[in-house]
Amino acid sequence: MPRESYDVRALRSKAIASLRAGVVAFNGLDDDARMTRVLLHLQHSFEMLLKAGLLATGDTAVFDRKKRMAIGMETCVKRCQQQAGIKLTDEEAGTIRVLDNLRDGEQHWHQVVEEGLLYLHSRAAVTLFDDLLYRIWGLRLAEHIPARVLPISAEPPQGLDLLVDQEFERIAGLLKPGRRATAEAKGRARALLATEALSDPDAVEISESDVNRVVKGIREGKAREQVFPKLNGVASSTAGEGLTVEVRFVKKDGLPVTFTTEAAGDAAAIREVDLEKKFHMGPYDLADKSGINRTRAVGLRRHLGLDEDDDHYSHTFKFGSQSHRRYSNNALTAMREAKKTVDIESVWLAHRTLPSNYKMPQPACDQPGCVDSKSRRS
């Protein structure tokens, strides 16, 4: 086994240290700032772990050349979903994104995460951390943290569906006339909005308009499935018991989620998405990152239909009289996968277009289609 670089060892050590600090904070007796400490440390532990994993598996570009600083959590997650040797699943990526969302809400504003939900997310984080340690390095978390200090709850872990339903009922109760508890209701709504990242990779930012939309929908008496439709597609899977319990989030059949720019529809179910962040690549960026010649990439895009899907692969932004098509990470994944099985040159020949100034050659007069001077006069 090749000797690990200092950066890999340092980042992995920081990751384990932050996880230990998060676990200690979770089990601590002091409630002051407990939530903040737990979320800050757990989120930091995964950012360090993912960067260490990228370096260990050959992806050395952990610095943004334009910003001249280390890449952020979301970039790490996307890279790790594609990097051989890591291959984060959608469910695993969602687990990390929820932690990132909750940490963001805790650090920059305020929120209320019910104890059952905090335990479920914390235990899922420990389970995933152990999975990644073993997947990348063949190590186990038990070698660094004794089981006796892992997140412990006096209550048995409950399913995500039940916890979300209970929290929804609490929010509805806080919003009843005369309660004067809208601020706390909003804090709890932020935690559920953060949890939507389990099923939607674009739910990485929570705007105040999203929170207000949730409050308005609940006050109008809308059901949980209408207000938080993206939570209908995820559940938790629990194995083991006591100190050895393992929690993972899994996807299940739920309501389809689509993008819309129309005002029609159930406003309570509409989540604002920054399309510029989702569709962040131009055609040249897409070609370069997929490792395909820019000209040939045009043919492959047409072959895959990437220019025809504004919900998943691409979106056209209009600025006055100009239109610019931008592409998402879904398009990049499709290009990279197609590159493994598709003959790029054949695709290009089949889908290329002729230049605008190209003139078709005229056939000779002894060939079909010839129009000579006599036939034109007649």
Most confident of 98-102, 224-228, 323-327: 98-102
- pLDDT of 40 higher than 90: yes
pLDDT digit string, tens, across residues 188-199: 999 999 999 888
Q: What is the DSSP annotation of 36-91?
A: HHHHHHHHHHHHHHHHHHHHHTT----EETTTTEE--HHHHHHHHHHSTTT---HH
Sorting pLDDT into bands at 50, 70 and 90, what band is 274? low
What does each C-alpha distance from 304 to 77, 206, 263, 300, 345 come to in angstroms? 25, 33, 31, 6, 14
The total of other beta-carbon atoms located within 10 Å of residue 287's CB is: 22
The total of other beta-carbon atoms located within 10 Å of residue 202's CB is: 19
Q: Are 130 and 15 in contact (CB under 8 A)?
A: no
- pLDDT of 107 higher than 70: yes
Closest CA to 100 of 84, 116, 78: 78
The secondary structure of residue 231, as a DSSP letter, is G
Q: Note the pLDDT of residue 253.
A: 56
Say what the pTM is: 0.70
Beta pairing, strands 234-239 & 246-251:
antiparallel
* Signed CA dihedral, 6, 8, 13, 14: sign only: positive
Tokens found for residue 79: 């890279």
Residue 228 carries which side chain, given as an amino acid letter? F
- pLDDT of 156 higher than 80: no
- pLDDT of 124 higher than 50: yes
Sorting pLDDT into bands at 50, 70 and 90, what band is 303? confident
Q: Can you tell me the mean pLDDT for 172-193? A: 94
Tokens found for residue 19: 């996880």
Q: Are 106 and 43 in contact (CB under 8 A)?
A: no
